[in-house]
Amino acid sequence: MKQYEHPPAEAFLLTTILHALSDPYRLSIVQKLAVLQPQPCAPLQGNRPKSSVSHHFNVLRKAGLVRTVVEGVLHMNSLRNAELESRFPGLLDTILAAAAHSAECQGAE
C-alpha cells in the first residue's frame, strides 16, 4: 500500500500555495474538502478526465494544501489545516471566506 509524499510544513512556500489556489477547479476542491473531510478524488472529479484530476491533486499536495492517504482502493484527501494554520496563520480560512463571497467556482464542477 504505497503512500504519497507530502512536504513538511517548514517547506511550504507562500507563492506555491497561492498559485495552487489560483486555479478555479483546485480552489473548488479545497472548498469542498473544507466542508467534508476526508474525501476520495472521485466525488470531486466533475466531468474532468481522471488524468487531469490526478494532476490537480498533485499540485495541491506539492503545495502542502492536501494530504492524501491510501485506504484500500480509495485515496482519501484532507486539508492540512493545522499545519497550514501554524505556518501561515489565518491564510486558508481567509481565502476560503473570500471564495465563499465570490461566485467564480460555480462552474468549476
Binding site for a second copy (CB under 8 A): 13-16, 18-19, 21-24, 27, 87-91, 94-95, 97-99, 101-102, 104
Q: For residues 41 and 91, which CB has a smaller minimum distance to a second copy in the complex?
A: 91
CB of 89 to DNA, least distance (A): 25
Binding span for DNA by CB under 7 A among 41-49, 78-86, 87-95, 97-105: 41-49
34-42, 78-86, 87-95, 96-104 -> range binding DNA (CB under 7 A): 34-42
Residue 75 CA to residue 50 CA, distance in Å, equals 13
8, 84 Cβ separation under 8 angstroms: no
State the binding partner of 14 from a second copy, DNA, none, CB within 5 to 8 A by kind: a second copy
Secondary structure of 16-42 in HEC code, one letter for each residue: HHHHHHCCHHHHHHHHHHHHCCCECCH
Of 9, 34, 58, 85, which lies in the binding site for DNA, with binding defined by CB under 7 A? Answer: 58
If one counts every other C-beta atom within 10 angstroms of the C-beta of residue 12, the result is 19
How many angstroms separate the Cα of 27 from the Cα of each of 10, 83, 86, 98? 22, 18, 20, 11
Please give the Cα distance from 88 to 85 (Å, whole number): 5
Q: Which is nearer to a second copy, 76 or 91 (CB)?
A: 91
The verdict on 49 binding DNA (CB under 7 A) reads: yes
